Amino acid sequence: MTDFVYRNGRLHAEGVDLTRIAESVGTPVYVYAAGGIERRYREYADALAGTDAMVCYAMKANDNQAVLSLLRNLGAGADTVSEGEIRRALAAGFDPKKIVYSGVGKSADEMGFALSAGIGEFNVESDHEVDLLADVARQMGKRAKIAVRINPDVDPKTHAKITTGKKGNKFGIDFDQAMGVFKRAAAHPSLEPVGVASHIGSQITNLDPYRAAFSRMVDLVKALRAEGIAISVLDVGGGLGVGYTGEDPPSVADYVAVARDAAAEAGCKLVLEPGRRIVAEAGVLLTRVLFVKEGSAKTFVIVDGAMNDLIRPTLYEAHHPIVPITEPKPGTAKRRVDVVGPICESGDFFAKERELGPVGAGDILAITHAGAYGAVMASSYNARRLTPEVLVRGQQFSVVRPRPSYDELIGRDRVPDWV
């Protein structure tokens, strides 16, 4: 947790005491460290130095415009999965030619928007999508560059809900069907097949699944060239994990070395799409303790944050470290507690049976590793206002997405005259 350290007994984000942010903005609140985001992006850029490569940040991890702007300033491209994400990338100033559009369910309207924006590459995932994109491009008088996303049937040994490269997953085209889809695409004058793409999942902590998937991709590139289909791009996706529970995932340098070797063997430009690895550890969710409830079977630490703010523990059984923003004294005793929110669901929790030092009403906790798939997956369930987001650099911080008012929350609805 190098972006968040204790100084003089208080947890800081870079040079800012997190107590200042909690008091100024209120809780719950997300806090991101700009330097941490930039440093992790540079790990990829430095490892790719001298390589024909492009790093496209996977926006689904965190799509705040301030975060996007940081990465665009460093030269990143954008991996998008919807028209909304393309619009966000364009609004943040990304070069359209460095935008990749992925996803299994693109509509004709979304395709048309992406074509009109001049994005660099569509990653297509079915023969039906090939035909639809060809038709849209033909009607617009354009030619779409595409990569076909294959499903290499590789088990990344990660959570079932974030595994995307096995048979039975909805993503990609079965490896043994890929040649036929490429030939189908090559026959459309409005399409230009340029790449082979794959993404086998998220939170992967072993390089072996990548090696297996990349090997299949390289074999396909060679087979396609033998059929006269000129492939020039190897899009290997992302998914490299972080250490939520003390895991020791591979370094970015080691991961990139495996991807570089594959691209070199294929003779292709390399495209990578990291998300979580860039932003997860650069973010925390601050939440204030409301009550400590002593039950007969358990002790509950009830906080003002909830599963609508950070759904990963409920959705994925995910572990996030939780620390007090006031540094505990050495040797402070801990006890097992459940850290839960105020939502009317038993699934509303951040941690179960977690060892935590003494806390009381008013204390503030930091839920760490929350920069990815946190605010971007939040909702207003139970009519709770969306969590604000704050960006820190050095000694300064700014609110980069404010907490909406209750009037704004309720004002989104429209009551028909006939009610």
- Catalytic amino acids? 344
| DSSP-based three-state secondary structure for 128 | helix
Give the pair of three-digit tokens for residue 349.
């929790």
Residue reference for tokens 């070069």: 95
Rounded Cα gap, residues 71 and 278, in angstroms: 10
Rounded Cα gap, residues 320 and 309, in angstroms: 13
Q: Which residue type occupies 55?
A: V
Paired strand residues for 196: 148, 234
- CA atoms lying within 13 Å on the CB side of residue 153: 8
Rounded Cα gap, residues 179 and 183, in angstroms: 6
Instruction: Calculate the alpha carbon distances from 30 to 35, 251, 309, 391 in Å.
Output: 16, 26, 9, 9
144 neighbors 168 (Cβ within 8 angstroms):
no
Rounded Cα gap, residues 116 and 302, in angstroms: 49
Paired strand residues for 337: 354
**Backbone dihedral angles phi then psi of residue 413, each to the nearest 5 degrees:** -85, 155
- Dump the DSSP string for 261-281: HHHHHHT-EEEE---HHHHGG
Q: Give buried/exposed letters for 135-147 (b at 16+ CB in 10 A, else e).
A: ebbeeeeeebbbb
**Backbone dihedral angles phi then psi of residue 66, each to the nearest 5 degrees:** -70, -40
| DSSP-based three-state secondary structure for 238 | coil
